[in-house]
Structure 1
């Protein structure tokens, strides 16, 4: 039973990244325009690379393939994406509040990824 619950946890956590990465590819042009507006360097390359890591590592985490590598990759991705895209400290008003909420959620996601990275594979 415990193994089933752990598997479900990995599927849910990895699935969030697969979903988000796939959505980024489906809305690629719109998101690239948003990143360019916020003056991100090489927004197309940045989005493609980040979404690829997100999708592939999310699939690995969810399926158990290369899980010891997938969780740290997603940790690095989440930290980088949070610092670059959810920089609430540069904004005010409702935009600041929304970005801060997303940033805070990512802190919880990092907690789950740390647990996944240190989980006993047996």
Structure 2
């Protein structure tokens, strides 16, 4: 049985993905436009599917339903999104720094998800 601290950790980690997925739907047009500008094919479809994965897997992680599978799905999602959307090496200046910071933070997120998958 998970301790209160573990449960809170899972809620927070899963909640980040739920929040991001819901926020993508709230800002669907602007996020789709941004992805289209970055050259993503079928941006609305990719955004919709990715957001659904974030919401469902995030909820599963937070409440403890198929937690390992949810964590693995989020690991794969995070790695794919990081490599494709946070390609800081193609930019310079402040934009590069912002993308690079998000890229590096996602390493920590993947680390947390690996711990969640093995808990």
TM range (shorter): over 0.9
The CA RMSD over aligned residues, in Å, is 0.8
Q: TM-score, normalised by structure 2?
A: 0.97
Q: Deviation per CA, 1:68-121, whole angstroms, max 9, x where unpaired?
A: 2100000000000000100001111111100000001100101100000011xx
Number of aligned residues: 118
Q: How does 1:29-68 map to 2 (within 5 A)?
A: 29-68=29-68
Structure 2: 5+ residue stretches without partners: none
Q: CA deviation at 1:55?
A: 0.6
Q: Deviation per CA, 1:10-66, whole angstroms, max 9, x where unpaired?
A: 000000000000000010011101111111110000000100001100000000011
Equivalent residue number for residue 83 of structure 1? 83
Equivalent residue number for residue 97 of structure 1? 97
Structure 1: 5+ residue stretches without partners: none
- Cα distance in structure 2, aligned partners of 1:26 and 1:63: 23
